Amino acid sequence: MMELFETQRAMRQMRKAAMQRGVVAILDIGTYKATCFVLRFDGAEVTPTEGVGSMAGQAQFRVIGAATTRARGMRHGEIEAMQEAERAVRTVVQAAQKMARIRVDHAIVCFSGANPRSYGLTGEIDVAGQEVNEGDVAAVLSSCDTPDIGAHRTVLHAQPVNFALDYRSGLSDPRGQTGNTLTTDLHMLAVDRAVVQNILHCIKRCDLELAGLASSAYVSGISALVEDEQKIGSACIDLGAGTTGVSIFLRSHMIYADTVRAGGAHVTQDISQGLGIPLDLAERIKTLHGGLTATGRDDRDMIPLTGETGDWEHDRREISRSDLIGIMRPRMEEILEDVRDRLDVAGFEQLPSQKVVLTGGGSQIPGLAALATRILGQQVRLGRPMRVQGVPQAAAGPAFSAAVGLSLFAAHPQDECWDFDLATHSYPSRSLRRAVRWFRENW
């Protein structure tokens, strides 16, 4: 399991270096837009309140630069044309740097594609009635049996979400407690290796060092869900342009993440194809007039479809808003049905609470909450990202929940498997202790 994490460990080192520099760039490379925040870490290290201690270090931060631009060369949250994606990243990084008036060398990146798949792993060791220490935690994490994730896949997140000591489960931090058997549940998120390598390459071509990678489904959950929702169990649906991220949180940990490879861009595409208008115009009327619930007034609400093809009749068409809703609604229904399927697969019904939070740019379609209530259950709300110091008003909407969540993630990273010292050298001392105990009991 260890060799899997070498890249991640290198990124942790980079993150440490970035913390020392005090400035780090947050890059959310989405299908429709790329966002960059420049964070300045200026507080002392914050002591964690719960959970297995902070291995990666935590700090307070302030957003001193923010920029967003239209992403290019991206499809389904994956890089499709490297040159174009690189240009988008360069544009957005340069603009954010200009606003921050400082140069950034380290970037923490999130992306939404690459077919993330969740694995639940369990590990168990015998601690023989001793106090559990850090080495035991590392040992139990390394004792998890790695599933066969495939040769072309790589691990993006591997977070211990639960510890159990004998019959007591739900421990967030087993250290210092006494028991016989230490069990852990590990949530592992695997993604396509090629996509990650593309992103690594793209960041490298922009002269930046990658200081961390995250799944956007996970980080938008961090920012859009309030603390109680993260604790008692809830799902965050990040309606992006190319993908729709699904992440389920329980007891402040992500326990499941997945993406539906469809999103707002597909709605735009449907409008464009259905009405025979360019994509730009389709995007425009979707944003200005779009909706999901038709009322009687919508039949009289006419939307001009201006065009510049030269065909007078074609350029002067009009449709009613209910026509537009008739195009958008089936696609949104389809996406939400897919999300429902993913939630069902994950066993979302078994959670103590079935709160669903919709966020992302797509969640701004009027009437989405009503539609989602019919498909995803009664407890649906629209989520906006948490307020972060220094974020401009323009970047405070739900479309930026992944970027804001990534900022929070950069400042307070969840402990991952690779933060623990998984080395096997903790074993000899344990066996020695066992031998000593055996002697004491038998002689």
Partner 1 sequence: MRSLIRRRRPDPAQDPAPSRVAYRLTRLWLSPFIRRLVTIVIPAALVLGGLTAYATQPQQIETMTRWSEEIRASVEARPEFQIRQMAVTGASPVLADAIRDRVGLDFPVSWFQIDPAVLHKQVAALDAVAQVKVSVELGGALRISVTEREPAVIWRRSFGLEMLDATGHRIGFIDHRDGRSDLPLVTGEGANAAIPEALALIAAADPIGLRLRALTRRGERRWDMVLDRGQVLQLPEKAPVRALERTLALQAAMDLLDRDVAVVDMRNPGRLTVRMGGDAVEYLRLTRSFGQGLVRQ
* Part of the chain binding partner 1 (CB under 8 A), chosen from 101-109, 117-125, 222-230, 268-276: 101-109
Query: Using CB under 8 A, which residues numbered 306 to 345 contact partner 1?
Result: 308, 310
Residue 90: CB minimum distance to partner 1, A: 5
User: Contact between 87 and partner 1 (CB under 8 A)?
Assistant: yes
**Closer Cβ to partner 1, 37 or 163, answer by number:** 37
The CB-of-199 to partner 1 minimum distance in angstroms stands at: 18
Question: Which C-beta is closer to partner 1: that of 92 or that of 237?
Answer: 92
Based on the shown chain and the rule CB under 8 A, indicate whether residue 146 belongs to the binding site for partner 1: no
Q: Is 97 in the site for partner 1 (CB under 8 A)?
A: yes
Q: Which of 82, 102, 281, 375 binds partner 1 (CB under 8 A)?
A: 102
Q: Which of 54, 60, 94, 177 binds partner 1 (CB under 8 A)?
A: 94
Query: What is the closest distance, in whole angstroms, from the C-beta atom of residue 86 to partner 1 in the complex?
Result: 8
| 72 vs 430 by CB, closer to partner 1 | 72
Kindly indicate which of the ranges 98-106, 147-155, 272-280, 337-345 contains the residues binding partner 1, using the contact rule CB under 8 A.
98-106
Three-state SS letters, the chain: CCHHHHHHHHHHHHHHHHHHHCEEEEEEECCCEEEEEEEEECCCCCCCCCCCCCCCCCCCEEEEEEEEEECCCEECCEECCHHHHHHHHHHHHHHHHHHHCCCCCEEEEEECCCCCEEEEEEEEEECCCCECCHHHHHHHHHCCCCCCCCCCEEEEEEEEEEEEECCEEEECCCCCCECCEEEEEEEEEEEEHHHHHHHHHHHHHCCCEEEEEEEHHHHHHHHHCCHHHHHHCEEEEEECCCCEEEEEEECCEEEEEEEECCCHHHHHHHHHHHHCCCHHHHHHHHHHHCCCCCCHHHHCCEEEEECCCCCHHHHEEEEEHHHHHHHHHHHHHHHHHHHHHHHHHHCHHHCCCCEEEEECHHHHCCCHHHHHHHHHCCCEEECCCCCCCCCCHHHCCHHHHHHHHHHHHHHCCCCCHHHCCCCCCHHHHHHHHHHHHHHHHHC
Nearer to partner 1, 90 or 317 (CB): 90
Per-residue mark of binding to partner 1, 374-413 (x: CB under 8 A) = ----------------------------------------
Least Å distance, CB 8 to partner 1, is 26
Q: Binders of partner 1 among 190-249, rule CB under 8 A?
A: 206-207
Phi, psi at 191, each rounded to 5°: -130, 170
Residues 6+ apart with CB under 8 A from 164: 170, 171, 182, 183, 184, 185
- Total residues at interface with partner 1 (CB under 8 A): 16
Site string for partner 1, 57-86 (x = CB under 8 A): ------------x-----------------
Interacting residue with partner 1 among 101, 152, 387, 440 (CB under 8 A): 101
Cβ 311 to partner 1 shortest distance, Å: 11
Q: Give the range of 47-55, 93-101, 273-281, 380-388 binding partner 1 by CB under 8 A.
A: 93-101
**Closer CB to partner 1, 91 or 363, in the complex:** 91
Do residues 322 and 293 lie in contact, with contact meaning Cβ atoms separated by under 8 Å? Answer: no
Between 95 and 305, name the residue whose CB sits nearer to partner 1.
Answer: 95
Q: How far is the CB of 105 from partner 1 (least distance, A)?
A: 9
- Within residues 280-309, the interface with partner 1 by CB under 8 A covers 308
Query: Is there binding between residue 176 and partner 1 (CB under 8 A)?
Result: no
Q: Where are the beta strands (DSSP E) in 153-263?
A: 153-165, 168-171, 181-192, 209-215, 234-239, 244-250, 253-260
Closest CB to partner 1 among residues 3, 313:
313
Nearer to partner 1, 103 or 434 (CB): 103
Shortest Å distance, C-beta 286 to partner 1: 23
Terminal Cα distance for the chain, rounded: 39
From 43, 42, 27, select the one nearest 92 (Cα to Cα). 27
CB-nearer residue toward partner 1: 97 or 363: 97
Q: Which residues of this protein are in contact with partner 1, per CB under 8 A?
A: 69, 87-88, 90-91, 93-94, 97-98, 101-103, 206-207, 308, 310
